[in-house]
Structure 1
């Protein structure tokens, strides 16, 4: 099937042709006709399958056909990063349409707050918002939703996990009862289905590979003690000059600590909630442009990061929720590409890994520890559910590597004799300001919002209201 079969408006089809969009993905092929018919929809598909285009394209087509310049669509997303990504995709698809969109999300100062309110007053056909900031704008009477025709909830399961259920219901109460509502989710637990019935009307349902990982991902695991993880991640990163890697850790404190260690040897940046919004956007832009090779963060980057060409995902910590594993691994092997995912599993997390394999319906390859490393803990599989692991769970008593005769002192152990020296072209010393400047106390304010643009919009006829 080709996108031409959808009979989109010529200006929208021209944009797709310019972007190289030829054939729709399965979720697009199934969802676009339902949305074009005006029906409510619950759609479930694994991450990286093109869900955003599945709801954006038919909505843009309808706006283009009507010629209306009033607020037409509200898209709710769980995070700032996903809201920005959706808005950017709308910009690309609507290049020849002149349709405007505006991202609305929290974390900014008073100036950004005023920018967002002004953008809404100026007018935009599509608003992409996080629930918290939208609630604040609605409470202040800054939005007129009477002309709204479409409500889209993207990553609905994530919004539920983040506690946005009540906010979503409050927002729905502001909307016209006669509208089309579309809900997209990567997983479909019973709570999502029950929740959706509160505001969807006789929805069509589409489910594709719920809880499955992409076919192009090579998945494996190491059974390790915590004390072995740091050296093991160094070893993995040293085996190849990777162009794009994401490392997931369980907490932002662990992200910061691991970043301080790895930045001495590798081209790496840390991504966490303590960063200002401008810093987060700069890091993400550099990562997408391959100016930064390795990104380390928490599950804040497991959703809404659409970067094609990520070669390797390392789960430094086993995800607590099996569905989070699916989202993390979904960052690679996107758009029919191939990728690799490696998970470190310590004794106390083995039961979590059993649940992950159960969800994805496959056994993940067990890797032996590399030569020179001490043997890791025995992986018990199903037996781990009933095992107490009363000792050895943190692995603090275990050495990172076996000592060999003739090894250098501890401070020099990663030399040519060890066999684990990173490639020279993959090193990146920390910038001078990070070496010399005293670290300032973290601000207590939320990360800042969208920066003020100093150049005209590059999107031709598109009325990029934020740029003004």
Structure 2
């Protein structure tokens, strides 16, 4: 389907066209009509399928048609990087539209707080915010959201993983009871469904199957205990043609340790964690995108929703918590039929997560054991059983009447 086939305002279509959005992606085709109809929605789609545009475009259409002097839409996101990215995308789509937006997040300077407070009080059309920062503003008593018509929870699973559930519930108590609710999540565990039941009213459901990694990705699993990971990483990078790599660690305390080890090998590496200031994060990301250095070490703050692709390598210093997160991470390499390498270190306690990843991949990946040959001592023994039936595809059970399933093509539209 093309965007001009949707019932969108002509000025908005001009902005969509200027952003080079011609053909809808599967998630956009399925969700935009639902949102335009004013229905609640829960959608499951992985990063990179165009889900941000799937809700921004109908929200902007509503802004044009209602012409309210109050904030009409609130978008909650887990990270400041994602908030900024969405705000920039709104700016592009609304080039021919009289619409205002602002990103609300912490980590900036004192004047940022005052600028955010002023925008919240005066009422931008669309507010994009991290829950903690927005809640801090709301507790001042100056911020009113009594005219909100639509609430969006983007990357809902990541927000719950980061402990934002209570903050979100606090914010919801200050919103009008009568509103449209949209929830987008890359994964759909039970905790997300339970949370959705507290918020959504008779929602439509759209679920896009997680697409498999590109064939051009060389997936390598290495067994190593925590003490062996840093020297193993150094060994693997020493003889590797690295163009651009992100190393994901689940522990922010490891960021500096990894960087120090790489610096000794004459690699120019920099890091980002939740402790980094906003200015530091922006500078590090900008320089990495501009290829000022080759290795970025980051916590899960970068695992979702950030526009960094076309990497030569993705390294999971720790196994991702969810199998879908593994797909999202390694999908940042081997784009556009190129090749790439995804390396994952497996300690003893993370082995069960590898079984979940292989179940999603529908194949086993060789677990390499090279630490002893490198003089690092024996690696942990891989003890998770691998029954052949584990990779059997699930049966096609009928879904509830409101659920809409769609398996996307290998290369969905960006957005």
TM (norm. structure 1) is: 0.74
Q: How does 1:248-287 map to 2 (within 5 A)?
A: 248-264=248-264, 265-287=266-288
Shift, 1:232, TM fit: 3.6
Cα drift, residue 365 of structure 1: 4.2
The DSSP-based 3-state class of the residue aligned with 1:295 is strand
Q: Is the 8 A contact 1:42 1:204 kept in 2?
A: yes
Provide, for residues 30-85 of structure 1, a one-character-per-residue CA deviation record: whole Å limited to 9, x for no partner: 11111111111000012221211111111112212333343111000112222122
Q: Does 1:342 align with 2:356?
A: no
What is the rounded CA distance, in whole Å, between the counterparts of 1:273 and 1:331 in structure 2? 21
The answer on 1:246 being equivalent to 2:243 is no
Bigger shift: 349-358 or 170-179? 349-358
1:213 CA drift (Å): 4.7
The 1-side partners of 2:310 and 2:136 are apart by 37
Q: Give a deviation string over 1:238-296, Cα, whole Å, max 9, x none.
A: 45543321101231221101101213422321112232221111111222233232210
Question: Aligned partners of 2:4 and 2:368: how far apart in 1?
Answer: 46
Task: Write out aligned runs for 1:319-468 (5 A).
Answer: 319-332=320-333, 339-367=340-368, 369=370, 373=374, 377=379, 380=382, 382-383=384-385
Q: CA contact under 8 A between 2:249 and 2:255: conserved in structure 1?
A: yes
**Aligned residue number for residue 40 of structure 1:** 40
Rounded to whole Å, the distance in 1 between the matches of 2:49 and 2:369 is: 32
Cα distance 1:32–1:335, how it changes in 2: closer, same or farther (>3 A)? farther
- Give the aligned partner of residue 168 of structure 2: 168
Counterpart in the other structure of 1:191: 191
CA drift at 1:383:
3.9
C-alpha distance in 2, partners of 1:338/1:384? Answer: 28
8 Å CA contact 2:104–2:127 kept in 1: the answer is yes
Q: CA deviation at 1:337?
A: 7.1
1:239–1:353 Cα change, 3 Å: same
| Partner in structure 2 of residue 412 of structure 1 | none
Judge conservation of contact 1:351–1:381 (CA < 8 Å) in 2: no
| Structure 1 unaligned regions, length at least 5 | 386-468
Q: How far apart, CA to CA, are the structure 2 residues paired with 1:200 and 1:126?
A: 20
Structure 1 residue 89 corresponds to structure 2 residue 103 = no
Q: Deviations over 1:140-165 (max 9, x none)?
A: 22222122111000011111122222
Change (3 A) 1:110 1:40: same
Report if the CA contact (8 A) 2:47-2:305 is conserved: no
| Residue equivalent to 2:208 | 208
Q: Provide the aligned C-alpha RMSD in A.
A: 2.8
| Alpha carbons 1:311, 1:339 under 8 Å: kept | yes
Q: Please state if 1:117 is matched with 2:117.
A: yes
Q: Deviations 1:273-332 (Å, cap 9, x if unpaired)?
A: 232221111111222233232210111221232223223210122234445434433444
CA contact (8 A) 1:9 1:64 kept: yes
The 8 Å contact of residues 249 and 255 in structure 1, kept in 2 or not, is answered as yes
Residue aligning to 2:393: none
Match of 1:309 in 2: 310
Q: For residue 158 of structure 1, what is the aligned residue in structure 2?
A: 158
| Counterpart Cα distance in 1 of 2:122 and 2:174 | 20
Distance 1:169 1:319, change over 3 A: same
Q: Secondary structure at the match of 1:85?
A: helix
Distance 2:338 2:2 in 1: 20
Render the CA deviation track for 1:188-224: whole Å, top value 9, x for unaligned. Answer: 11121121111211100011125x5544544321223
Alignment-derived partner of residue 410 in structure 1: none
Deviation at 1:119, TM superposition (A): 1.9
The DSSP-based 3-state class of the residue aligned with 2:17 is helix
Rounded Cα–Cα distance in structure 2 between residues aligned with 1:161 and 1:281: 23
Residues 87 and 102 of structure 1 are in contact (CA less than 8 Å); yes or no, is this contact kept in structure 2?
Answer: yes
Bigger Rg, structure 1 or 2: 1
Of 1-10 and 39-48, deviating more is 1-10
Between the aligned partners of 1:33 and 1:357, the Cα distance in structure 2 is: 35
How far, CA to CA, are the matches of 1:384 and 1:378 in structure 2?
17
